[in-house]
A and B are shown apart, each in its own frame.
Chain A
Amino acid sequence: MKMCAFASRNTKEILRDRLNVIFGLGFPLIVLLLLTIIQSNVPQELFPLRKLTPGIAVFGLSFVSLFSATVISRDRSSSLMLRLYSSPMRPADYILGYTLPLLPMSIAQTLICFAAALALGLEWSVNILLSIAVLVPAMLLFIAVGLICGTLLNDKQVGGICGALLTNLTAWLSDTWFDVSLVGGAFEKIANALPFIHAVKAGRAAYNGEFSSIMPELWWVIVYAAVFMLLAAVIFKKKMKT
């Protein structure tokens, strides 16, 4: 059970990085709170929780990429990697060992996001569970992005690319902060070509019980997730040889 030992170590390494965890969990929650407060002060429907919560959940997942990329790039720059590479672990052990711990963490983060929304007044519905399930492909996508960034970038670059760029892309292009169709043009086209908006819309459809609208959106995310996972595996294997 080489992979399990490695996965367990990675879990500890991530969760014991307190600052990372507090930031990754806390920041999305603060945004959720702020936008809800703004909503309560204006008469128009800007950020209703039923639309906002899946958006913030996806935004929160972008921090999972940051977690995984940070661990991997730190490992790569330390001599620990020499030790791991000379051990009997195989490429699949690394990839699964880095991926698997992040899935429960992503689910936990999404759960916390919905719990916070419930406390702020989101109406309870069993569909919340479906909405969380629908976000699983998005979780895998963000984990894969983290794997790729961690494998290709150094510590500082990870902070920039995953910490700043990816979180902002997720925030701006996901229909969470504003209605992308109101901006229109190239912006809308780009947003629709990327998976973030589709993940959010699938999550919303699930919560609203509009079941037939889920899959058309979710396919985007599933395909993106599959491609990025495959890419992550290929890049990692290639990088391991050098």
Chain B
Amino acid sequence: MKAIETRKLSKSYGDICAVKELDLVVNEGELFALLGVNGAGKTTTIKMLSGLTEPTGGEFSVLGRSKMEDIKPLINVSPQETAIAPNLTVRENLEFICGIYGFDRAESKARAAAMLREFSMEEVARQKAKTLSGGWQRRLSIAMALISEPKLLFLDEPTLGLDVIARRELWHIIEGLKGRVTVILTTHYLEEAEALSDRLAVMAKGRLIAVGTASELMAKAGCDKFEDAFVALCGGGAAV
């Protein structure tokens, strides 16, 4: 079974074609990076696959299911913008997500405690989320995506707004998920994406340009460095 399969998946907003006839296959257990400059259609793709917006064309299946109500319990999303309940404490935020994914109180408490430990957030556990710094809010937002133990996890620019240390810690956590969870990741940090991902896809102007391992993409573009390959594939360089 594939984690994700899309056939001609498309989304347009009026005249704007955000995603155009996307054919994408992601294997189970893969750490898959979705790359592309701003506006390439990465977030829109994630939104369609997680039921936040309906495609205007094409179809898709997630873990062999095509009905959103069957898919939702198996996935979780860390949206591009930090998504937390401002007046709840850090611990309450985590327990809240457990609750809406259907776990009972005892299970929710246990999971929240474990997640606080894993994300080194115990010291801020009793603090209201809105009083946290941007970096801590982001960390919480990602922990909230992980706590339901999804089979498929979407991380939309997870390291946005994190400092170097927090970013490294987060990459470390994401690395730890490899093999356990299928992860779809978007990021502008090409080095990390290259080092961590099993496979990568490059999107530009709503279209899928190339898919493969980092070395396959470099070979395709005829470049020795991944960043150069990315720029070449995006049609950048002299053209932009």
A and B co-occur in one complex = yes
Q: Is residue A219 within 8 Å, beta carbon to beta carbon, of the partner chain?
A: no
Q: Which of A6, A13, A82, A89 contacts B87 (CB 8 A)?
A: A13
Contact B88 A82, beta carbon cutoff 8 Å: no
CB-CB under 8 A from B145, the residues of chain A are 83
> What's the least CB distance linking A8 to chain B, in Å?
7
Q: Is residue A79 within 8 Å, beta carbon to beta carbon, of the partner chain?
A: yes
Q: Which of B51, B86, B96 contacts A85 (CB 8 A)?
A: B51
Q: Is residue B45 within 8 Å, beta carbon to beta carbon, of the partner chain?
A: no
CB-CB under 8 A from A16, the residues of chain B are 87, 128
Contact A88 B52, beta carbon cutoff 8 Å: no
A90 to B68, CA, bound (A): 11
Answer whether A88 and B73 are a contact pair too, CB < 8 Å, given A13-B88, A82-B52: yes
> What's the least CB distance linking B104 to chain A, in Å?
7
Contact A17 B72, beta carbon cutoff 8 Å: no
> What's the least CB distance linking B157 to chain A, in Å?
12
Q: Is residue B63 within 8 Å, beta carbon to beta carbon, of the partner chain?
A: no
Q: Is residue A182 within 8 Å, beta carbon to beta carbon, of the partner chain?
A: no
CB-CB under 8 A from B95, the residues of chain A are 5
- Which segment of B24-32, B76-84, B167-175, B220-228 sits at the interface? B76-84
Contact A2 B101, beta carbon cutoff 8 Å: yes
Contact B72 A87, beta carbon cutoff 8 Å: yes
Q: Which of A4, A86, A89 contacts B50 (CB 8 A)?
A: A86
Contact B82 A79, beta carbon cutoff 8 Å: yes
CB-CB under 8 A from B86, the residues of chain A are 13, 78
Q: Produce 1/0 per residue, B98-114, CB < 8 A to A.
A: 11111010001000000
Contact A78 B83, beta carbon cutoff 8 Å: yes
Contact A2 B100, beta carbon cutoff 8 Å: yes
Contact B99 A6, beta carbon cutoff 8 Å: yes
Contact A82 B100, beta carbon cutoff 8 Å: no
Answer whether A79 and B144 are a contact pair too, CB < 8 Å, given A9-B88, A12-B87, A88-B101: no
Q: Produce 1/0 per residue, B45-84, CB < 8 A to A.
A: 0010011101000000000000001001101110111111
Contact A1 B104, beta carbon cutoff 8 Å: yes
Q: Which of A4, A5, A78, A88 contacts B72 (CB 8 A)?
A: A88
Contact A86 B102, beta carbon cutoff 8 Å: no
Q: Give the residue among B77, B85, B95, B108 with the most A Cβ atoms within 10 A.
A: B85
Q: Is residue B5 within 8 Å, beta carbon to beta carbon, of the partner chain?
A: no
Contact B99 A5, beta carbon cutoff 8 Å: yes
A144 to B194, CA, bound (A): 51
Q: How large is the interface on A (under 10, 10 to 19, 20 to 34, 35 or more residues)?
A: 20 to 34
> What's the least CB distance linking B42 to chain A, in Å?
15
A6 to B97, CA, bound (A): 9
> What's the least CB distance linking A193 to chain B, in Å?
38
Q: Which of B47, B83, B88, B92 contacts A83 (CB 8 A)?
A: B83
Answer whether A79 and B83 are a contact pair too, CB < 8 Å, given A5-B99, A6-B100, A88-B101: yes
A4 to B92, CA, bound (A): 14
Q: Is residue A126 within 8 Å, beta carbon to beta carbon, of the partner chain?
A: no
Q: Which of A1, A9, A90 contacts B96 (CB 8 A)?
A: A9
A74 to B103, CA, bound (A): 26
Contact B52 A86, beta carbon cutoff 8 Å: yes
Answer whether A1 and B77 are a contact pair too, CB < 8 Å, given A13-B85, A79-B82, A82-B83: no
CB-CB under 8 A from A239, the residues of chain B are none
CB-CB under 8 A from A17, the residues of chain B are 87
Q: Is residue A84 within 8 Å, beta carbon to beta carbon, of the partner chain?
A: yes
CB-CB under 8 A from A86, the residues of chain B are 50-52, 72, 75-77
When C-beta atoms are compared, the residue in chain A nearest to B73 turns out to be: A88
Answer whether A87 and B101 are a contact pair too, CB < 8 Å, given A9-B96, A12-B92, A82-B77: yes
Contact A83 B79, beta carbon cutoff 8 Å: yes
Contacts of A16-46 to chain B: CB distance below 8 A: 16-17
Contact B87 A79, beta carbon cutoff 8 Å: no
When C-beta atoms are compared, the residue in chain A nearest to B53 turns out to be: A242
> What's the least CB distance linking B108 to chain A, in Å?
8
Q: Give the residue among A1, A9, A17, A85 with the most B Cβ atoms within 10 A.
A: A9
Q: What would 7 more interface pairs be, CB under 8 Å, given A8-B99, A9-B99?
A: A9-B92, A12-B88, A82-B79, A82-B83, A86-B51, A87-B76, A89-B100
A-B contact pairs, 5 of them (CB 8 A): A4-B99, A82-B79, A83-B83, A85-B52, A87-B101
Chain B residues engaging chain A, CB cutoff 8 angstroms: 47, 50-52, 54, 69, 72-73, 75-77, 79-88, 92, 95-102, 104, 108, 128, 144-145
